[in-house]
Amino acid sequence: MTPGTASVGFIGLGVMGGSMASHILEAGYRLLVNTRSPEKASALIAKGAIWKNDAASLAAEADIIVTMVGYPREVEALYFGHRGIIDNAKPGALLVDMSTSSPELAVRIHAAAGERGLKALDAPVSGGDSGARNATLTIMVGGDEAAFEAAKPILGTMGKTIILQGGPGSGQHTKMANQIAVAGSLFGTVEAIAYAERAGLDPARVLLSISQGSAGSWQMSSNGKKILARDFGPGFFVKHFLKDLGIALEAARSMKLDLPVLALAEGLYRRLTEKGLGDEGTQVLYKLYTGELG
């Protein structure tokens, strides 16, 4: 899978996918693209990417197919739907789903791909829009060692920490662990700010102190600053975080594992979505603590 010899198909050019695909193109790969909103592909096409009208036509031509979409239902439709990837990929193609999706669906994709002589990996990412722009994503991979080694040159154009976690579905399970940890860290940041403000402190000065010690975290240094600036724009959408927390909660229940913080987070992010804040950034959770949402 080297530049100049491999064609890479990329489906899903949203907040993160567009940047991720651009790094593949800049590395010298022939890039085929498709996305639900064609206008999102215009910048890449201007730089040399090739537009494909649907997943089937892209899959028929690509040596490696990368998908980066929002929801498990979209992943399932892309891989198993009418003119889907699995039925139309050329022999020996490598399929890499970088969406955050269901571990169970990742296992099904791997099995179906294998029946057709294809290789498949689940490779969700962490790092948000900034990680996608800067090619510093953490990539959590599930699948076979040989497929992982084949995909590493492509994955290396998009991320810095790239680890094979185990067999099919392991990447998605690792991403669920990541999101559980993110939820806890973000809740701690939001509640620390709310407490500091109610105590009459300057929350900026408080964060300057506590972020340098054992309480420090990426959520505190990044989303904490956004909260203080009243910036609730999406680095990561509330609606997508709710989706992730729902997947994690369902998986935990299937394993008979009680995770009360995860359950609380899923419930509060559901409230935010119901209040019409699904397209805001996850840090908008702070508004639940200020009474702004009623």
> What residues are annotated to the active site?
175
Sign, CA torsion 55/59/62/64: positive
8 A C-beta contact, residue 11 and residue 55: yes
The rounded distance, in Å, linking the Cα atoms of 78 and 237 is 22
Three-state secondary structure string covering the chain: CCCCCCEEEEECCCCCHHHHHHHHHHCCCEEEEECCCHHHHHHHHHCCCEECCCHHHHHCCCCEEEECCCCHHHHHHHHHCCCCHHHHCCCCCEEEECCCCCHHHHHHHHHHHHHCCCEEEECCEECHHHHHHHCCEEEEEECCHHHHHHHHHHHCCCEEEEEEEECCCHHHHHHHHHHHHHHHHHHHHHHHHHHHHHCCCCHHHHHHHHCCCCCCCHHHHHHHHHHHCCCCCCCCEHHHHHHHHHHHHHHHHHCCCCCHHHHHHHHHHHHHHHCCCCCCEHHHHHHHHHCCCC
CA 285 to chain centroid: 19
